[in-house]
Amino acid sequence: MTYGEPEVATTTGRGRWQALADRLLESVAPYASPSGSLIVLPGPASASGRWSDGLEGFARTGLLAAFRTRGADGDDPAHLIERYARGLAAGTDPSHAERWPSIAERRQAVPEAASVAILLSETRPWLWERLDPAVQERTVDWLAGVVGTSGYTNNWTWFQTVIETFLQSVGGPWRQDDLDRSTEIQESLYRGDGWYSDGAGPDGSQQNFDHYAGWAWHVYPLFQARILGADLPQIHRERLRAFLDQARDLVGGTGAPLFQGRSLTYRFATLAPFWAGAIAGQTPLPTGGTRVLADAVLDHFVEGGAIDERGLLSIGWHREFRALRQAYTGSSSTYWASKGMMGLLLPEQHPEWSAAAERSAAAERSAAAERSGAAERSGAPDAPEPTESVSVRSFSAPGWLVVRSEADGISRVLNHGSDGFRGPAGGVRADNPFYHRLGYSTATSPDLSLSGVAEPLESHVALLDAAGAPSHRDRIERVHLGDRVAVSRSRVHWLDTPATAGAAADVAGWAALRRGPRVTVASVVHGVRELRLAWWNAVAPAPQPSAIDDLDAAWPEAEGPWSFRIGGWALPVHDERWSATAASTATREDGVTSAVIGVRGLDRHGIAHRTGGDPFAEGSVTPWARGTVPAAEGDVVAALVALGAESTLDLNALPLIEIAADRITVRWSDGVVDVVPTGGVRA
């Protein structure tokens, strides 16, 4: 039984969430410095160092304390406000031995200062208004370190906005041009349907889509409005509702969120935009539906072991798994999961807490079925009759096809538009496992070991060189996104490591890359099955090469011949509790199956079993299919790829493929026909 579970399980509704918040805050208290200003939890340090991590621990747990206290109308039996008031007084005192780093000293102080501003705003009657005037003045001075600074190009623009809005509300310094500049940047990154790109790549591309679109871009506008005592502006109301209408399909039927993008160790922070919608009254979910979804997500992590035996949120997904770390991740970073508990801002009597969960769940299932039917009928005269078991939706902003099935509770994303590309321009770079894979789901993860990153396999289409080394996907170029068909391409490259091919190497040891051709990949969705097609074309010199192309031009061109390999979904497994039911079909004890079956040009099959690189389990098994002869330019290969309940996959019914100069026609056994635009391939 997970730490804290008996106490939490004895209550329901808001009381259950409050009990968990109290337990989390109680558990971090022993790790606070004497004054309480720094909370440094056991574990690795971030790139900013332990000092910064201590501030992070204070600020992020302070968010949780604020939500818990505000929603309880100041009821504070654990004296949380007193604890954070003492820490605030010491942290903002330049002469105190446990002072906080200033924004000038540590850039990471900016997001933490935003959390401090929210803490002070949400608990204003009990904390800010009761502070000694000297402490108030020091706090204003510390927060004011952000005023007049610049260089924020992604969700960080909101940190500056929230801090300066709070300063404005208490008579401190602020600058309108800072707010105007941030708004201009924010608007430039809006991509439609409620989605923001979290910054741009070095080439100007805006394809950085991940959970930050929700837990940052749609949460801070609400906090700014609350600081001002105003309603959420209409433009943000509309965008929040639009985002939630899509984001709800990125949570699996068992409460598992999509495993994609950076900072995944924030775990149930994925709930933040859903609670923001409920707080602002801008959610497509029925009354009580947010609570039903949030309960499921919270259960997913609590029952999965996210809270360790010390009562701490470890770095990981379920249990501790440090391969999820980014350079900015320290032992206190995980407490941005506090954002996922902002529903505590709603009082016990709020309808979101008091509505009957059963009725809300039924309403959500009905809405999901309605979305499924609309998606499958939209613009497709030969689409199959809609069913309640599988829905397929096209998310144009991130370039995703989203496949959600009731039978197994899995939501899948086929990625033809989100690459998180940030460079380095002209540098050696690996396929980013959090962004560059073709497929992500709520039940699987790419292999995150060093060898898994260096040699991508799962949910990946690779050209294999003569030594068998797989190519890496780079910037994604969108070609087509329809109701059930998506096409994208990318210029691929190979990594050269100090060791021979196949050996693991640290990122710092990757010595060079070889530039390859452009690989086009298409996904054709039919229920939970996907026909995955691929071909390659030589890259003609660009008349006006980009700055990145100019820098990359120093790398040598790779030489063929090359053969294709298509890797399927990595099925998480413990020990040997799985079986190979065919050459490239792996089935777990619970019946969940991952399969790849070559349909064209891929006649060799296998299953890779790897350990140590999967955050869900001890290891994973990934089926694959590859060609045994080199693929010529324009040669199309194809495989049926599937993940789901074994009884629903229908792996024996393979589609027929017809190739023409400008299109590929796919004929399924039930009569459904899909057309893949190609722009010209070799017949």
> What pLDDT does residue 7 have?
35
Give the CA distances from residue 56 to residues 84, 465, 534, 555, 661, in Å, rounded to whole numbers and listed in that order.
13, 45, 45, 41, 57
- Residue 626: both structure tokens together: 């590859």
Q: What are the backbone dihedrals phi and psi of residue 64, each rounded to the nearest 5 degrees, phi first?
A: -65, -40
600 vs 8, higher pLDDT: 600
* Beta bridge pairs of residue 674: 666
Residue with tokens 């050209």: 463
Q: Are 74 and 124 in contact (CB under 8 A)?
A: no
> What pLDDT does residue 423 have?
60
Helix (H) or strand (E) holding 451: helix 450-454
> What pLDDT does residue 551 have?
76
> What pLDDT does residue 499 have?
56
> What pLDDT does residue 379 have?
35
Which of 300, 298, 271, 303 is CA-nearest to residue 285?
A: 271
554 vs 452, higher pLDDT: 452
Report the C-alpha gap between 111 and 109 in whole angstroms. Answer: 6
Mean pLDDT calculated for residue range 154-173? 98
CB atoms within 10 A of CB 23: 16
pLDDT band for position 360 (cuts 50, 70, 90): very low
CB atoms within 10 A of CB 193: 14
> What pLDDT does residue 422 have?
65
> What pLDDT does residue 576 have?
80
> What pLDDT does residue 178 have?
98
pLDDT band for position 202 (cuts 50, 70, 90): confident
Is the pLDDT score of 6 beyond 70? no
Cβ neighbors of 123 (< 8 A, separation 6 or more) are 65, 66, 69, 70, 81
Mean pLDDT calculated for residue range 131-157? 97
What does the pLDDT look like over 532-578, one tens digit per residue?
999 999 998 777 766 666 778 888 999 999 999 999 999 999 988 89
Taken in order of first residue, the domains within the chain and their CATH numbers are 5-355 (1.50.10.20), 393-677 (2.70.98)
Q: What is the pTM of this model?
A: 0.92
4 vs 593, higher pLDDT: 593
Mean pLDDT calculated for residue range 325-351? 96
Is the pLDDT score of 486 beyond 80? yes
Is the pLDDT score of 37 beyond 50? yes
Is the pLDDT score of 502 beyond 50? no
- Residue 81: both structure tokens together: 């406000």
What does the pLDDT look like over 76-135, one tens digit per residue?
999 999 999 999 999 999 999 999 999 999 999 999 999 999 999 999 999 999 999 999
Cβ neighbors of 97 (< 8 A, separation 6 or more) are none
> What pLDDT does residue 575 have?
82
Residue with tokens 């410095």: 33
- Mapping DSSP onto H, E and C, the string for 300-343 reads HHHHHCCECCCCCECCECCCECHHHCCCCCCCCHHHHHHHHHHH
Report the C-alpha gap between 462 and 566 in whole angstroms. Answer: 6
What does the pLDDT look like over 212-239, one tens digit per residue?
999 999 999 999 999 999 999 999 999 9
> What pLDDT does residue 424 have?
61
